[in-house]
Amino acid sequence: MLQSGEAQLAAAGIEVFARESHSAAHTAALISEFRDRVQMLVLGGGDGTLHAALGPLVEQGLTLGLIPAGTANDFARNLDLPDDIDGALDAIVHGRPVAVDLGSANGIYFCNVAHMGLGVRVTKELSTASKSRFGVFGYLQALRQALPESRAFRAQVEA
């Protein structure tokens, strides 16, 4: 995917600095490293990858171009982004920027959704192996595992 996307962006006259990241910390370091050389970060990944990059993107003031390549791609689906690489790259090259509201809780940025309670437990139960094997149905397996540990709670949210 990386080489194919890189070639398409370069063909559109966009200078590309392609890098692969394997952790949230590495993603943050790459964003910081390239902040003065780029105006946009093109990110290939899903909601977890987006979450890892969101804080550094905001801090560096960069625009995001997203290639949905995760399991559920909830954020990309909510924005009605194309779910194929060619369509996503075409939207990056020829599309118009869309403003997205961000939230912050305890210094952590989020968009699209924030979880507490059961949603967090499901995320913790969800494994890479389960997502690879079952795709979006891996979430159902994680929910099944998280439900017995779930407890009701009260929360007060101030905004």
Reported as a single tens digit per residue, the pLDDT across 56-80 is 999 999 999 999 998 889 899 999 9
Work out the mean pLDDT of the chain and round it to a whole number. 87
Reported as type and span, the H/E element at residue 45 is strand 40-45
The reported pLDDT for the residue numbered 75 is 92
Q: Which residues lie closer than 8 Å to 40 by C-beta, 6 or more apart?
A: 62, 63, 64, 65, 92
Q: What percent of the chain has pLDDT over 70?
A: 99
Residue ranges of alpha helices (H) inside 22-153 are 24-34, 47-60, 74-78, 85-94, 118-125, 128-134, 138-146
User: Measured between alpha carbons, how far is residue 63 from residues 57, 60, 69 in Å?
Assistant: 7, 9, 18
φ, ψ dihedrals at 104, nearest 5°: -145, 130
- Note whether 47 and 74 are within 8 A (CB): yes
Is residue 23 scored above 80 in pLDDT? yes
Q: How many helices (H) and strands (E) does the chain have?
A: 8, 4
Q: Tell me the average pLDDT across 103-128.
A: 83
HSE (side-chain half, CA atoms, 13 Å) at 59: 16
Which of 153, 85, 90, 89 is closest to 119 using CA atoms? 153
The reported pLDDT for the residue numbered 2 is 59
Q: pTM here?
A: 0.77
Q: Which of the two residues, 120 and 27, has the higher pLDDT score? A: 27
Q: Which of the two residues, 131 and 64, has the higher pLDDT score? A: 64
Q: Which of the two residues, 136 and 24, has the higher pLDDT score? A: 24
Considering only the top CATH level, what class is 2-114?
alpha beta
- CATH 3.40.50.10330 maps onto the chain at 2-114
The reported pLDDT for the residue numbered 1 is 53
